[in-house]
Amino acid sequence: MKTRLGILISGGGSNMRSIANACEQSNFPAQISLVLSNNPDAKGLQFARELGLQTSIVDHRNFSAREDFEQEIQRHLIKAKVEMVCLAGFMRILSPFLVGEWQGKMLNIHPSLLPKFRGLDTHRRALDAKEKTHGCSVHFVTTGLDQGPVIAQSAVPVLADDTTQALQARVLNAEHLLYSRIIKQLCRQL
């Protein structure tokens, strides 16, 4: 039985697409059961629809309390029989409620070699810090922002003439490979 994934996105959804590609392989141990976005205009939603994936929109602006927003997300995840949640560019901080519901079963991909550069604008900060190496991390989600246990990382070189865009593209490429590889490993163990 393939593990049923719920992918939470807010934007372009390139990680979601790379996971969807991986799921096309017959020996991949997971399938995408739901792509959910808090942003109705997320480009990734359109890609997901084109791929024939089930999508949901839960717009945070329609909720005055964070827990009500998360209860609604949870309702969609349960309805789609999701077994593992993958945050992929999901730009809302989650409260202990939703994180607690998915303890050990909610992953995030972050564009830095954690614990370096938690939070936003990681590529600019890596360049400013004159890092020689940068990269991405897949970690379990806990209530501390980008602080959950790291599962795996992928490093890329920082080149002398790098712009944030060039570095971001190199890291994003590494993200696509890493996230699917880790999902494959974890789902095999389930």
Active-site annotation, residues: 110
Q: Which residue is nearest to ligand GRF (CB)?
A: 89
- Taking the complex as a whole, the smallest distance from the CB of residue 183 to ligand GRF amounts, in Å, to 14
Q: Are 112 and 145 in contact (CB under 8 A)?
A: no
Amino acid at 170: R
Q: Are 111 and 88 in contact (CB under 8 A)?
A: no
Instruction: Between 6 and 111, name the residue whose CB sits nearer to ligand GRF.
Output: 111
Instruction: Between 68 and 128, name the residue whose CB sits nearer to ligand GRF.
Output: 128
Instruction: Between 71 and 143, name the residue whose CB sits nearer to ligand GRF.
Output: 143
Contacts with ligand GRF by CB under 6 A lie at 9, 11-15, 44, 88-89, 109-111, 136, 172, 175
- Taking the complex as a whole, the smallest distance from the CB of residue 168 to ligand GRF amounts, in Å, to 7
Q: Closest Cα to residue 39, out of 68, 8, 14?
A: 8
- Taking the complex as a whole, the smallest distance from the CB of residue 1 to ligand GRF amounts, in Å, to 27
Q: What does the block give as tokens for 10?
A: 């807010």
User: Could you give the C-alpha distances from 134 to 37, 39, 148, 153, in angstroms and in order?
Assistant: 28, 29, 19, 10
Backbone dihedral region of 119: left (phi > 0), alpha (psi from -120 to 50 degrees) or beta? left
